[in-house]
């Protein structure tokens, strides 16, 4: 999948994988050695995530059901837990630095193709 920040007209990722089963949502990015630029994981549904079993920091974008950004976590280190929110419908995990590099802000609307 491709994710674009529709508000800013910036491509966020071109190799985004969907985690939409119980197993794929639970495992997420755990066990991987890195997350390359342009790659990411869209976890749907999800109201928060953990980074247990991960070896690297990631950027995390929380989205409502209309794909508007409602929360951001930059450089979330391994063995952390984000807050849980009923506003959050899905979570996008990206390489560390992507939020700043793509100028993602709360309120931006993302587009998934």
> Two tokens at 98?
């992507």
Domains for the chain: give ranges and CATH numbers: 3-112 (2.60.120.1140)
Q: With a cut of 80, say whether residue 103 has pLDDT above it.
A: yes
DSSP E strand stretches across the chain: 3-5, 10-13, 15-19, 39-43, 58-63, 69-76, 90-95, 110-112
Cα→Cα distances 71→34, 88, 94, 111, Å? 23, 8, 14, 16
The mean per-residue pLDDT over the stretch 77-106 comes to 96
How confident is the model at residue 73, as a pLDDT?
A: 98
pTM equals 0.94
What confidence tens digit (pLDDT) does each residue in 22-70 have? 888 888 888 788 899 999 999 999 999 989 889 999 999 999 999 999 9
Give the separation between CA 17 and CA 9, rounded to whole angstroms: 21
């Amino acid at each position: 999948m491709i994710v674009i920040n529709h508000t800013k007209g910036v491509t966020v990722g071109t190799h985004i994988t969907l985690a939409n089963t119980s197993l794929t949502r639970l495992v997420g990015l755990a066990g991987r050695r890195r997350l390359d630029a342009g790659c990411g994981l869209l976890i749907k549904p999800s109201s928060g995530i953990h980074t247990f079993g991960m070896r690297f920091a990631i950027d995390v974008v929380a989205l409502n059901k209309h794909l508007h950004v409602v929360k951001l976590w930059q450089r979330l280190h391994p063995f952390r837990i984000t807050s849980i929110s009923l506003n959050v419908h899905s979570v996008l995990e990206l390489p560390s630095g992507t939020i700043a590099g793509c100028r993602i802000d709360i309120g931006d609307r993302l587009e998934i193709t």
